[in-house]
Amino acid sequence: MSAPAWLRTLRKERLNGPDALSLGIGGTWCAEIGQRIWSIVWRGLDQPQAMLTSHVLLLFLMLSFMGGVLHLTARGAVDGYVPRHNWIILGITMGVAAFVVVVVFAPGLHGLAEQP
C-alpha cells in the first residue's frame, strides 16, 4: 500500500504545480479532520473554555487557509498556468478576510492607542 500523494510530495526536493495542489488538498483535509476531532473532544469534556482559546485551533485554521491558497494557486495543474479567475477569487477572499479582521479587532485596539 503506497502513501497518499500529498505525503509523497513532502519527500520531494522540488515541487511543481500538481504537487502544490496535492499539498493543498491534503492540508485542508488534515485541518478538517483535526477540527472535527477537537470539536468532539471539546463537547465530550463539557465544553471547557480553555479549548476555545487554544493555539491548536489557530494551527488548524492556518493549515486550512494555506491548503486553500495552495489549491487555488497550483501552477501547472491547469494547462501550465494559474487561471486569472483563481487569482481574482484569492484577492477577493484576502480582502474580505482583512475587512473582517479590522471590523472584529479594531474596537478592542482603541484603548491600546490611548495608553501611555
Q: What percent of the chain has pLDDT over 70?
A: 80
Query: Both 104 and 116 in a single domain?
Result: yes
Query: Both 22 and 76 in a single domain?
Result: yes
User: How much is the pLDDT for 35?
Assistant: 93
The total number of structural domains that make up the chain: 2
Q: Which residues contact 52 (CB under 8 A, 6 or more apart)?
A: 42
Query: Both 88 and 75 in a single domain?
Result: no
Query: Both 10 and 62 in a single domain?
Result: yes
- Taken in order 40, 61, 70, 90, the sign of the CA dihedral is positive
Taking every pair of Cα atoms in the chain, the longest distance, rounded to a whole number of angstroms, is: 62
pLDDT > 90? residue 45 = yes
Query: Both 110 and 95 in a single domain?
Result: yes
Query: Both 71 and 96 in a single domain?
Result: no
pLDDT > 60? residue 109 = no
Query: Both 77 and 21 in a single domain?
Result: yes
Query: Both 12 and 42 in a single domain?
Result: yes
Domain that holds residue 88: 83-116
- Pairwise CA distance, residues 111 & 101, whole Å: 17
pLDDT > 90? residue 46 = yes
| pLDDT mean across residues, the chain | 80
- Pairwise CA distance, residues 80 & 9, whole Å: 18
